[in-house]
Structure 1
Amino acid sequence: MSLSRKSRAWYAGSSLLMAMVAWQAFVRLGPGGPDSLVVDASVEALLQAWVFWPRLAAGMMVGACLGAAGALMQIITRNPLVSPDLLGITAGAQLGVILGLMLPTALGLPLIFVGGAGAALLTFLAAGGWSTSPLRLTLAGVGIAQCLSAFIALFLSLNDHAAMVVSLWNTGTLQQFGWSALTPAMWLAPLAAALLAVLARPLNLAMLGDAQMRSLGLTPARFKAVTIILSSLLTALAFQLAGPLGFIGLVTPNLLRLAFGVARPSSLVPLCALWGAALTLFADNLGTAIGRWVTVPFGVLSALLGSVAILVLLRITPRAPSAAIARVEGHTVARRLPLPMFVGLMVLLCAVLGMAGVVHGGGASAIEFVQAWWAGEALARVLLDLRLPRLLVDMMAGACFALSGVVLQTVTRNPLAGPEILGVSQTSALAVLLALVLMPELVGAWRFLIAWAGAIAALLLVVGLNLRHGLEPLRLTLTGFALGGAALALIGLLIAQFSTNIAQALIWMVGSSYGRTWADVLGMLPWMVLGIGLCAAAARWMDLLQLGDGIAASLGLAVAQRRAMLVAVASLLVAAPVAVVGPVAFVGLLVPHGVRLLGYYRMRERLWAAPWLGAALLVLADLLGQWLLAPLDIPLGIATAAIGAPCFLLLLARTYVHRGRGAAI
């Protein structure tokens, strides 16, 4: 008699779990296994029991919680590629950890739960409600996570102790010393299991859709809110024990669907708990095995495995969750400024901001400062040499990021593409940081080429993996998310292993123009000029690509070759500022939309307007960062995220089109 799919999944999961337990016992306790603990009552054996059994229990508890939480998230969002990272839960939990460090009472678990649940609910709100599409939910989660990460980086840059604690927490570990950390999970996990049993039938109804749920007496919004809170609680339990681990919740439900065909939620959730425990112990054992050659923290290993899992799932899944995408053109502007007038105003704004940045705090007006500089006064010349290069770097970085966004959104035909959304900025920053660790003597002369190599490799990977699927927006976004997550995990590993100043390293990760000199200006200038020139030469190609590949090919454009060339141009425009100021977010995403909302639709108009608008935005963000909390100098990337994240979420909300008025993201 053949076994059902559900039974095969149960037997296979149980066998894998027992094998992982035996493997861990053999590795950590020796050939004698657990029996050695009973026979040998020495202090060493007691210490082993105090460490081994709690670690084993923590691994199973963490995996079961993350597996069940991932299944719940994917069921209610109807998106098989959702994970705590995609909903912003990881960033919210990190914020809870920081709040726990600031408060005198021990509120670690409640604060982690509140932070994660709050971030998830905020993501749903920003995405347009419970009926949002997978792509909107993904983009909103990325936006919320980046906004929270920017403010977290600001706090950590001011508190070295907190920076060290959070950096260690981010690396993740199953190591336990005694049973105290497991006590809350032992009390709450049975309650969560009982609630899951109660939700079994509603979870099955959730597969029918919101309308059918209402007809059967179930309120979709209330049910989804309860489910999100429960999944956030399970995630908080896991994060409290082991730090931020994401791949278990992502991989486990998809593995059961693909390998065993288990899709019914009432069966999927408990199976995910079983398989999650087994896979977590497998990852822990794998980390121990490779630890003989290289030490990889458990959190970094899980992030890398999760990123690879997303790429594999996208590769073997024939169709991503459907998500139409609207053109984010905004309303037609009846009376727009003539392009020369707009460019002139942006030039004037940049000049005014630059002068304000140079003379601020000097006790003199702009005219008096110019007169003092012309007269050769030492103070005026020193201020100019200290402050003007930084502002010029801001302007050039803003221009490059903005142009890269224009090119990327054209190449991918995705109006919500940007260097940070596609993982390009993070990969370019990883290349520079890796070179700083391995070849510090070469970075000064080769940092631009190194950053370009990282950026072009990321873009070729993201675009190449999605060409056969027509560059579907959701696939493209998830591929970039996976690549960016892997890059950030490796950056965190490099900082933890090699950085002597973690706070400064965190500031560089979000982007900073502090201390930039004339050498940085002269180093970036030729790359910016080259990028702008190549964009101007390719303006006609980009106009044709916006019409679609078929029309562009019929008009004589070699689509594949031109797209590859534009990818190289976009990577160059990203690499130049990343090499100098780091991976500043949101400029490449927002400025192209701002230009369109101002009424500049043709490519040549956008290529003129975007760099000046980007330059003005970045220098304004940097000056606000210098002035708002003076004498504290807020890093450029944090100030930009504080401005850009709300604007991005507002822009995402503008893409929502009510039913009957067209498709939305």
Structure 2
Amino acid sequence: MAERMASARRPAVLAGLLGLAALLLFLRGLALQLPPDRWWPALTAPAATDIRQMLVHYGFLPRFAMSLVCGAALGLSGALFQQVLRNPLAEPGTLGVFAGAKLALGAALLWAPWLLAFGPEPVALAGGGLALALVLSLAWKRGLPPFAVVLGGLVVTHYLGALNAAIALFHHAALSDLFVWQAGSLSQTGWRPTVQLVVCAALAALAVLALLRPLALADLEDDGARNVGAPVALTRLAAIAMAVVLAAMVASAAGIIAFIGLAGPAIARRAGARRLRDRLLWAPLLSAALLALADQAVQMLDPGREVSVGALTALFGAPLLLWLIATARPAGAPPRADGVSAFIARPAPWIVLLVVLLGLAVVAALSLGRTPDGWSWTGPAGWPAILPWRGPRVAAALAAGAMLATAGVILQRLTGNAMASPEILGVSAGAALGLVVVIWGFGAFGQAPLLAGASTGAAATLTAVLALSRRSAYAVEPMLLAGLALAAILNALVTVLLSSGDPRATLLLGWMAGSTYAITAWDALIAWLVAGAMAIVVPLTARWLAILPLGPAVGQALGVARSPSRPVLLLLAAVLTAAATLTVGPLSFIGLMAPHLVRLIGFQRPGPQLAAAALSGGLVMVAADWLGRNIAFPWQIPAGLMASMLGGAYFIWLMRRR
């Protein structure tokens, strides 16, 4: 009994501490703007002749209120998603709601501005709802299992993000206001948006109260809930609608605020809120306190410049979530293989076919292209003239695709997790963080220091993710959470750097898009040297890669658990990811797509699977580079973005078929 009462008090204590910290920072900020004897007049009836009172009344106070309301709405939205989908990873960001809202608003600004006649809210709501519908449709046939929903959400978010980035490349000036919005800003010039959001959140909260009992029964199996009279389908649909409305309203009012909808419910659950009633109470309160604290810290750290609060929430929330993962109780063994039964007994003909296809793709990429006079084909006789221009980028794209695919195979077999990849586990983000440290900390731009920094960042990130997931036996959810947290830290850091006005940030943004436009022959040679060295070393680990997916017991019996297998494989995956990230940026999808593709074909043994994945990854990246060079000629779409769009479309099609 005493333990239960203590467990019930922990969320209240934590919310109180966070709220108190936010309140103290708020009062300190208020004291810096006005003496205490003018606080009440500034709140109730600001003097028109006192500019400081006007700024406090119409700017500082509504901003604090907006942070509380936005945080509470996102926390309630995340708690609803997690309850209905029975998935602790569900929240507006991981389910594609924010990505859909951002894409819909960008498209409306460019091609249908009349849709914004009634404000951005309907457009954001429609975009977020359609994106969520797509995510749910990908897993509907299998009964919305958590693993499939998370995978679908990540794929749709990644795909819509790539589409958004591609649109932004061609319409940067027209979408400048959207860039400010999507970074997440709570700045206010009056009380009207805050009041509107308060009314919307209050109505949604009342609707949730009416759904409380049916939602609580959602913890039962569907048949059990129906037996006690719960309208399962209608309850889920209504709760999802409320969650989407809350997220879309916040996005339209304050932009994309990352992590709050995930961190609040996760903290509440970890702090002891076991019952649905408790989670629906404490998740909004914790999220409100967390967002208010982050926003006040932003204003206190740099009062003279507007820094995206959406970026800072990731910097605040991600380490907290990493701590929750590290201290969570083990939840059982992870799902191992993804149920693929196809098996190729003789892989050699398939390998030869992939080699032929890759050769044809390289020839086409070198010979076929668009010019001001239209399409042209350059035969071998003309290659000496075009090789200095097309050769390095094609060679670098091939090497990068092969390295990412190889790293994906290593990670999936090392963890026994079919969702493991450099992109999803945050390893690419770690490599990018290493580059940021080298460039900003040491001012180095050479290939050697950049490769060393990226490799160190990738290795440190991968080691951290695996260490955090070890208690759960490398289960899917902790690994995904850790990868999402680390990727959020990278995105937050990049956003802060871009807002600084430093010219190096523009170079970083172009590199993150995965452009091969500026690849030189030396860059391509470095990529091929690393790829060639890995092609010699990685096959020597085939026995480890065959035994590790069978579990620690089998590995212990066969002596693999006591060997240096994990450190060596970690190092290989880190170097492969770092070298590829230097070439095509952290956005590619190849590390997830290529291993899945060859496993579906039937490559199950590690040796053939490594070879087939490397060839497939190189083929896709060469095709992505060629399409990006020609599809919108004379403008170019970066190969990394093109690969993300190709990979995302492939995965959406694949998940709808299964």
TM-score w.r.t. length of structure 2? 0.89
Question: Are the structure 2 counterparts of residues 414 and 324 from structure 1 closer, same or farther at C-alpha, using a change threshold of 3 Å?
Answer: closer
2:91 to 75, 83, 91: 83
Q: Which residue of 1 aligns with 2:30?
A: 28
| Aligned ranges 1:555-566 → 2 under 5 Å | 555-559=558-562, 561-566=564-569
Q: CA RMSD of the aligned region, Å? A: 3.2
Alpha-carbon shift at residue 347 of structure 1 (Å):
4.7
Structure 2 CA distance for aligned equivalents of residues 330 and 507 of structure 1? 41
Question: Is 1:589 equivalent to 2:599 in the alignment?
Answer: no
Question: Are the structure 2 counterparts of residues 232 and 452 from structure 1 closer, same or farther at C-alpha, using a change threshold of 3 Å?
Answer: same
Q: Which residue of 1 aligns with 2:343?
A: 332
Question: What amino acid maps onto 2:380 in structure 1?
Answer: V
1:236 to 241, 248, 253: 248
Structure 2 CA distance for aligned equivalents of residues 364 and 252 of structure 1? 54
1:167 to 176, 179, 185: 179
1:65 to 67, 73, 90: 73
Question: Are the structure 2 counterparts of residues 382 and 502 from structure 1 closer, same or farther at C-alpha, using a change threshold of 3 Å?
Answer: farther
1:626 to 629, 641, 645: 629
Alpha-carbon shift at residue 498 of structure 1 (Å):
3.9
Q: Which residue of 1 aligns with 2:393?
A: 390
Question: Is 1:576 equivalent to 2:573 in the alignment?
Answer: no
Q: Which residue of 1 aligns with 2:405?
A: 402
| Aligned ranges 1:376-387 → 2 under 5 Å | 381-387=384-390
Answer with 324-333 or 544-553: which moved more. 324-333
Question: Is 1:474 equivalent to 2:473 in the alignment?
Answer: no
SS in 2 for 1:161: coil
Question: Is 1:44 equivalent to 2:52 in the alignment?
Answer: yes
Question: Is 1:639 equivalent to 2:642 in the alignment?
Answer: yes
Question: Are the structure 2 counterparts of residues 357 and 506 from structure 1 closer, same or farther at C-alpha, using a change threshold of 3 Å?
Answer: farther
| Aligned ranges 1:246-645 → 2 under 5 Å | 246-259=258-271, 261-291=272-302, 297-320=308-331, 324-333=335-344, 338=349, 341-342=352-353, 344-357=355-368, 369-371=379-381, 373=382, 381-498=384-501, 500=503, 506-559=509-562, 561-645=564-648
Question: Are the structure 2 counterparts of residues 144 and 557 from structure 1 closer, same or farther at C-alpha, using a change threshold of 3 Å?
Answer: same
Question: Are the structure 2 counterparts of residues 569 and 195 from structure 1 closer, same or farther at C-alpha, using a change threshold of 3 Å?
Answer: same
Alpha-carbon shift at residue 26 of structure 1 (Å):
3.8
Give the percent of matched residue pairs that are identical in Structure 1 and Structure 2: 30
Q: Is the 8 A contact 1:358 1:383 kept in 2?
A: no
Q: Is the 8 A contact 2:259 2:314 kept in 1?
A: yes
Structure 2 CA distance for aligned equivalents of residues 313 and 558 of structure 1? 27
Q: Which residue of 2 aligns with 1:196?
A: 208
Structure 1 CA distance for aligned equivalents of residues 102 and 620 of structure 2? 29
2:169 to 157, 180, 187: 157
SS in 1 for 2:92: coil
Question: What amino acid maps onto 1:69 in structure 2?
Answer: S
Question: What amino acid maps onto 1:35 in structure 2?
Answer: W
Total equivalences in the alignment: 646
Question: Are the structure 2 counterparts of residues 67 and 391 from structure 1 closer, same or farther at C-alpha, using a change threshold of 3 Å?
Answer: same
Question: Are the structure 2 counterparts of residues 499 and 636 from structure 1 closer, same or farther at C-alpha, using a change threshold of 3 Å?
Answer: farther
Structure 2 CA distance for aligned equivalents of residues 365 and 602 of structure 1? 42
Structure 2 CA distance for aligned equivalents of residues 472 and 582 of structure 1? 27
Alpha-carbon shift at residue 550 of structure 1 (Å):
2.5
Alpha-carbon shift at residue 36 of structure 1 (Å):
5.5
Q: Is the 8 A contact 1:167 1:496 kept in 2?
A: no
Once the two structures are superposed, residues 306-354 of structure 1 have per-residue CA deviations (whole angstroms, 9 ceiling, x without a partner) of 2223212222221349864543534235876625633542453244333
Once the two structures are superposed, residues 217-272 of structure 1 have per-residue CA deviations (whole angstroms, 9 ceiling, x without a partner) of 3332332222111111111222233222233322333433443x433324432443
Q: Is the 8 A contact 2:214 2:231 kept in 1?
A: no
2:105 to 97, 109, 130: 97
Structure 1 CA distance for aligned equivalents of residues 489 and 511 of structure 2? 18
Question: What amino acid maps onto 1:306 in structure 2?
Answer: G
Alpha-carbon shift at residue 622 of structure 1 (Å):
1.7
Structure 2 CA distance for aligned equivalents of residues 604 and 18 of structure 1? 57
Q: Is the 8 A contact 2:46 2:53 kept in 1?
A: yes
Question: Are the structure 2 counterparts of residues 356 and 597 from structure 1 closer, same or farther at C-alpha, using a change threshold of 3 Å?
Answer: farther
SS in 2 for 1:160: coil
SS in 2 for 1:399: helix
Alpha-carbon shift at residue 581 of structure 1 (Å):
2.0
Once the two structures are superposed, residues 461-517 of structure 1 have per-residue CA deviations (whole angstroms, 9 ceiling, x without a partner) of 111222233212222222112111211221222223245598875443231212322
Alpha-carbon shift at residue 151 of structure 1 (Å):
0.2
Answer with 165-174 or 196-205: which moved more. 165-174
Question: What amino acid maps onto 1:85 in structure 2?
Answer: G
Structure 2 CA distance for aligned equivalents of residues 628 and 48 of structure 1? 51
Alpha-carbon shift at residue 5 of structure 1 (Å):
7.3
TM-score w.r.t. length of structure 1? 0.88
Q: Is the 8 A contact 2:182 2:255 kept in 1?
A: yes
Q: Which residue of 2 aligns with 1:221?
A: 233
SS in 2 for 1:523: helix
| Aligned ranges 1:124-139 → 2 under 5 Å | 124-128=136-140, 131-139=143-151
Q: Which residue of 2 aligns with 1:119?
A: 131
| Aligned ranges 1:138-153 → 2 under 5 Å | 138-153=150-165
- Please list every run of 5 or more consecutive structure 2 residues that lacks an aligned counterpart in the other structure: none
Question: What amino acid maps onto 2:617 in structure 1?
Answer: G
Q: Is the 8 A contact 2:72 2:287 kept in 1?
A: yes
- Please list every run of 5 or more consecutive structure 1 residues that lacks an aligned counterpart in the other structure: 374-379, 657-665
Question: What amino acid maps onto 1:285 in structure 2?
Answer: Q
Alpha-carbon shift at residue 652 of structure 1 (Å):
4.4
SS in 2 for 1:411: helix
Structure 1 CA distance for aligned equivalents of residues 472 and 15 of structure 2? 33
SS in 2 for 1:181: helix
Structure 1 CA distance for aligned equivalents of residues 571 and 630 of structure 2? 37
Structure 2 CA distance for aligned equivalents of residues 19 and 11 of structure 1? 12
Answer with 49-58 or 209-218: which moved more. 209-218
Q: Is the 8 A contact 2:343 2:604 kept in 1?
A: no
Once the two structures are superposed, residues 377-416 of structure 1 have per-residue CA deviations (whole angstroms, 9 ceiling, x without a partner) of xxx6442211111111111111111111111111111122
Q: Is the 8 A contact 2:393 2:519 kept in 1?
A: yes
Structure 2 CA distance for aligned equivalents of residues 262 and 636 of structure 1? 45
Q: Is the 8 A contact 2:332 2:473 kept in 1?
A: no
Question: Are the structure 2 counterparts of residues 550 and 498 from structure 1 closer, same or farther at C-alpha, using a change threshold of 3 Å?
Answer: farther
Question: What amino acid maps onto 1:27 in structure 2?
Answer: G
Structure 1 CA distance for aligned equivalents of residues 73 and 370 of structure 2? 56
Question: What amino acid maps onto 2:547 in structure 1?
Answer: L
Question: What amino acid maps onto 1:393 in structure 2?
Answer: A
